[in-house]
């Protein structure tokens, strides 16, 4: 494969099925197993405002070698699902894809581009640092197997409708791209409830529910000790959904609620680092 033959074409030239097949091949040896099928990738594109027009596939006349996807929102762009086939790495393809997406983000007037990289993915981290990205947050990804909590929960939750949940999310703290209010609004099956326990405090939970799992879990404590109120929120949640596997993604590692998650037997699966780049800074070519 000659580097000069590689071209980058918009991902719109491929079907979602073709893109997911390529994506899965680029991640076959990845640090964290995260394959997708076409339905999941389509959902991903919809939920996270991925623009296939500004996402790119690296190819030559015979083969495809990698891809990268660009999410677009009002003030920011988000690079995601970057991957190059294992046998085609260390040939500059990842860098080309990144540069192309950063150019697109700047041309669209986005002041910042963000992305997340798995901790210990040194080659990717080095690439992003070379392109001017700087670390801003450390996230943990937590899992909890489906079983009811040992203890009962205090208080009685008040279930929220879709719009109440979006109001809560708009007033909550900073969230990563996948948990941002826009993502939650785009997604299906949004659930949430408020809880007020006299003498303890109050807070709310928002999440998405699927047949087998709870995802995009966001906890917010408005009054009271975060650990105590967070514990009650999670107890209510898991008493109500004892058979769902739970995936809490992109919780900041120093979040005061971490002890509440640990009490409910969540465990860490891996960590990510959020990186930010100011798009007005010229790319080194």
Partner 1 sequence: MYKILLVEDYEDNANLIRRILTAHDYEFYWASDAQTGYDMALEIMPDFILLDLGLPDMDGQTLSCWLREVPSLKTVPIVAYTAWQKEVALRMVDAYCLDDYLGKPVEMKTLLAKIREYLI
Q: Does residue 241 interact with partner 1 by CB under 8 A?
A: no
Among 236, 242, 237, residue whose Cα is nearest residue 208: 237
Distance CA 182, CA 177 (A): 8
Look up residue 185 and give its two tokens: 């609004």
Q: Which of 51, 57, 19 is nearest to 38 (CA)?
A: 19
Closest CA to 207 of 231, 233, 232: 233
Considering the complex, what minimum distance in angstroms separates the CB of residue 268 from partner 1? 8
Kind of pairing between the strands at 76-84 and 213-224: unpaired
Retrieve residue 116's tokens.
Answer: 């997340």
Options 39, 126, 171, 189; binder of partner 1; rule CB under 8 A: 39
Q: Is 17 near partner 1 (CB under 8 A)?
A: no
Per DSSP, what are the bridge partners of residue 10?
56
Binding of residue 32 to partner 1 (CB under 8 A): yes
Q: Which CB, 20 or 77, lies closer to partner 1?
A: 20
State the CB neighbour count (10 A cutoff) for residue 38: 14
Window 133-172: contact mask with partner 1 (x via CB under 8 A): ----------xxxx--------------------------
User: To the nearest whole angstrom, how small is the minimum distance from the Cβ of residue 33 to partner 1?
Assistant: 3
Under the binding rule (CB under 8 A), the answer on residue 91 touching partner 1 is no
Contact between 18 and partner 1 by CB under 8 A: the answer reads no
| Among 118, 240, 270, 276, contact with partner 1 (rule: CB under 8 A) | 270
State yes or no: residue 74 binds partner 1 (CB under 8 A): no
Q: Which of 61, 62, 199, 212 binds partner 1 (CB under 8 A)?
A: 212
Give the number of C-alpha atoms closer than 13 A to the C-alpha of residue 198, restricted to the C-beta side.
0
User: Which of the ranges 28-36, 63-71, 106-114, 150-158 carries the binding residues for partner 1, by CB under 8 A?
Assistant: 28-36
Contacts of 194 (CB under 8 A, 6+ apart): 157, 158, 160, 168, 202, 203, 204
Residue count of the chain, please give it: 285
Binding site for partner 1 (CB under 8 A): 20, 24, 28-37, 39-40, 143-146, 212-213, 243, 245, 265, 267, 269-270
């Amino acid at each position: 494969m000659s580097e000069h033959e590689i071209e980058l074409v918009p991902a719109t030239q491929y079907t979602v099925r073709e893109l997911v097949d390529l994506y899965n091949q680029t991640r076959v040896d990845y640090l964290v197993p995260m394959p997708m099928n076409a339905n999941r990738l389509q959902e991903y594109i919809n939920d996270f405002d991925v623009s296939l027009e500004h996402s790119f596939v690296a190819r030559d006349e015979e083969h495809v070698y990698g891809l990268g996807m660009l999410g677009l929102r009002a003030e920011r762009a988000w690079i995601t699902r970057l991957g190059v086939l294992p046998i085609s790495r260390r040939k500059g393809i990842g860098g080309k894809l990144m540069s192309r997406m950063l150019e697109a983000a700047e041309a669209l007037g986005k002041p910042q581009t963000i992305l997340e990289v798995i901790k210990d993915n040194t080659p990717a981290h080095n690439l992003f640092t070379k392109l001017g990205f700087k670390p801003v947050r450390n996230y943990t990804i937590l899992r909890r197997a489906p079983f009811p909590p040992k203890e009962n929960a205090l208080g009685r939750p008040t279930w929220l409708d879709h719009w109440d949940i979006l109001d809560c999310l708009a007033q909550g703290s900073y969230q990563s791209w996948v948990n941002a209010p826009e993502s939650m609004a785009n997604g299906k099956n949004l659930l949430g409830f408020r809880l007020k326990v006299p003498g303890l405090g109050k807070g709310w939970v928002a999440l998405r529910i699927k047949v087998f799992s709870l995802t995009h879990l966001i906890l917010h404590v408005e009054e009271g000790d975060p650990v105590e109120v967070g514990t009650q929120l999670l107890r209510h949640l898991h008493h109500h959904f004892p058979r769902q596997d739970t995936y809490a993604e992109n919780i900041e590692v120093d979040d005061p609620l971490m002890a509440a998650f640990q009490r409910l037997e969540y465990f860490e699966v891996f960590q990510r680092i959020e990186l930010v780049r100011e798009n007005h800074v010229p790319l080194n070519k």
